[in-house]
Amino acid sequence: MKCMYCNGPLERSRVPYHIDREHVHVIIDEVPAWVCTQCGEAMFDEEAVDEIQQLVTAVDQRTERLAGIA
């Protein structure tokens, strides 16, 4: 596979991923990704994206519940 930004080669690695939501910041230390050896851009498989989206949905739901307690 080639990088969609610089056309450099990709290799499997793990990268940090951070999510900034209103009043919530989540950091996942090691997410599997394809990383460009030339420019460092990370690209995620569909499975990783699905898991991240589920995590974001859960964070949003729980944040709403917590806000409703106050």
Rounded Cα gap, residues 6 and 55, in angstroms: 30
pLDDT tens-digit profile of 8-49?
A: 999 999 999 999 988 889 999 999 999 999 999 999 999 999
Rounded Cα gap, residues 23 and 50, in angstroms: 23
CA 53 from centre of chain = 8
The model carries a pTM of 0.79
pLDDT tens-digit profile of 48-68?
A: 999 999 999 999 898 888 887
Rounded Cα gap, residues 44 and 49, in angstroms: 6
The pLDDT score that the predictor gives to residue 70 is 56
Can you list the domains of the chain with their CATH numbers?
A: 10-69 (3.10.20.860)
